[in-house]
Amino acid sequence: MSENKTTESNTPETETIPTPDPSAPEFDWTLFWKRRSEETSAKASALAEKIIASMLTVGIPEVVVSYNGAGDSGQVDYITVPKQPGASDEEQATEATLKTIAFHDRTRTFSGFDNVKGEWVTNTRPATLHDLIEDLAYLVIDIKHPGWENNDGASGDLTINAKEGTIVLDHNEYITSSEAYSHTLKFEGNSLKEIDDV
């Protein structure tokens, strides 16, 4: 017959804390953020070139990306294609049009629950012009306003004008304000009297 034994110890376990190496260089946050900004800018430039060329090819002169966020979460809400002068309703491009233009050199992977199979599945598809425009918006916003989705958050529009080769970011940052007051009261006799206000 075998016994299961549990050994208990009243001796607290000691944690070994490494001693800092005085000769090791201190982490340079300024350099880190500088390099991150340069890398993000390079990605944004390459993506903007691809997007603008594609927009010109398919005849979409301009798109407007609207976004908002707060509480550590932010997202692109929608992308609009302004009405093109002289274009009929059938010729006018829409957000749905952007989702039909695929780039087979880039992919998107997404997961979701398949109700038929009864399990989570992962699928991959070619990236669309819509995807790339969203990616560019996130990069540009992050370059100009990192952490925009935190705390009270922000919202705005990013306009890509393919004909002019410009990107305009109109950004609104939300800030909770406060006003401070100070009052000094003194109890004299049977009432409180205000001495001064600041």
Identify whether 123 is part of a domain: yes
Identify whether 85 is part of a domain: yes
Identify whether 106 is part of a domain: yes
Inter-residue contact 160 to 134 (CB < 8 Å): no
Q: Provide the sign of the torsion angle of the four alpha carbons 36, 38, 41, 45, taken in this order.
A: negative
Identify whether 178 is part of a domain: no
Identify whether 101 is part of a domain: yes
pLDDT of residue 6: 44
What's the number of domains the chain is made of? Answer: 1
pLDDT in tens, 113-153: 888 989 999 999 999 999 999 999 999 999 999 999 999 99
Choose between 142 and 87: higher pLDDT.
Answer: 142
Distance from chain centroid for Cα 179: 30
Identify whether 107 is part of a domain: yes
Closest Cα to residue 53, out of 140, 132, 108? 132
Identify whether 73 is part of a domain: yes
Q: What residues make up the domain containing 66?
A: 30-172
Phi, psi angle pair for 83, to nearest 5°: -55, 125
Closest Cα to residue 65, out of 183, 157, 188? 157
pLDDT of residue 113: 87
pLDDT in tens, 52-68: 999 999 999 999 999 99
Mean pLDDT of 36-59: 94
Identify whether 12 is part of a domain: no
pLDDT of residue 164: 95
